[in-house]
């Protein structure tokens, strides 16, 4: 099979522009608008975001699902003992990226990640599908395992353990909120002259500036 000619793969972004006059003064509200646009456009997994953590100078990234966004930050859930959980405990600075190819849009977020309240994690865990709840018990996230069958056996063990009763949230599992310090909105434009508007938190509010593409 011939190699893919990556160097010649390109498209022109021409859907829309991004001007200072048509964005919210509050970037959290603007992010909500763009998320709604992605949902209406039926973008697959519109709430998927790449979260990057960094410990000992070695960044790592992975896709997670945004579960809540408000003035308190961008909330996602994971095992506290997963690689990202351990890294965020060591260094709470994190970055997140959304990319909606169908809309030719990207959002970058940088800020501090902190655990949300136990009660909030409990409330979210309670609405998860039962299989997902059991999976949080069965999987020691990010740890090596010799074979798939061991995971499946652990799943069966916890199905038996909690048979006929609600599945409680493991104390090792819960939510983080990335509290933004900067948020950048990117809109693709022709000839790679993209629109980039960056918001920075300052003095209890937000300042906005345009960045060159």
Pick the CATH number of 11-128+173-211 from 3.20.20.100, 3.40.50.920, 3.40.50.2300, 2.30.110.10: 2.30.110.10
Structural domain boundaries of the chain?
11-128+173-211
Catalytic residue among 40, 67, 192, 210: 192
Q: CA angle at residue 10 from 5 to 13, to 5 degrees? A: 170
| pTM, two decimal places | 0.93
> Is 192 annotated in the active site?
yes
pLDDT bracket for residue 203 (50, 70, 90): confident
What is the pLDDT at residue 95? 98
pLDDT-above-90 percentage for the chain? 94
The C-alpha atoms of residue 157 and residue 154 are separated, in whole angstroms, by 5
118-176 pLDDT per residue, tens:
999 999 999 999 999 999 999 999 898 899 999 999 999 999 999 999 999 999 999 99
């Amino acid at each position: 099979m011939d190699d893919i000619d990556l160097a010649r793969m390109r498209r022109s972004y021409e859907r829309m522009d991004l001007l200072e006059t048509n964005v919210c003064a509050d970037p959290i509200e603007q992010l909500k608008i763009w998320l709604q646009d992605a949902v209406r456009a039926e973008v697959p997994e519109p709430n998927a975001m790449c979260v990057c953590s960094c410990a000992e100078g070695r960044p790592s990234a992975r896709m997670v699902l945004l579960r809540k966004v408000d003035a308190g930050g961008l909330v996602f859930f994971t095992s506290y003992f997963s690689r990202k959980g351990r890294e965020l405990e060591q260094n709470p600075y994190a970055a997140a990226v959304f990319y909606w190819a169908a809309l030719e849009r990207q959002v970058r977020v940088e800020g501090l990640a902190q655990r949300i309240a136990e009660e909030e994690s409990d409330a979210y865990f309670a609405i998860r599908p039962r299989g997902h709840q059991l999976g949080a018990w069965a999987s020691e996230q990010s740890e090596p395992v010799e074979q798939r069958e061991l995971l499946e056996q652990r799943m069966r063990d916890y199905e038996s353990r909690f048979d006929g009763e609600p599945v409680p949230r493991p104390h090792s599992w819960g939510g983080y909120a990335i509290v933004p310090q900067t948020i950048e909105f990117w809109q693709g434009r022709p000839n790679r002259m993209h629109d980039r508007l960056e918001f920075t938190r300052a003095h209890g509010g937000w300042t906005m500036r345009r960045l060159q593409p």
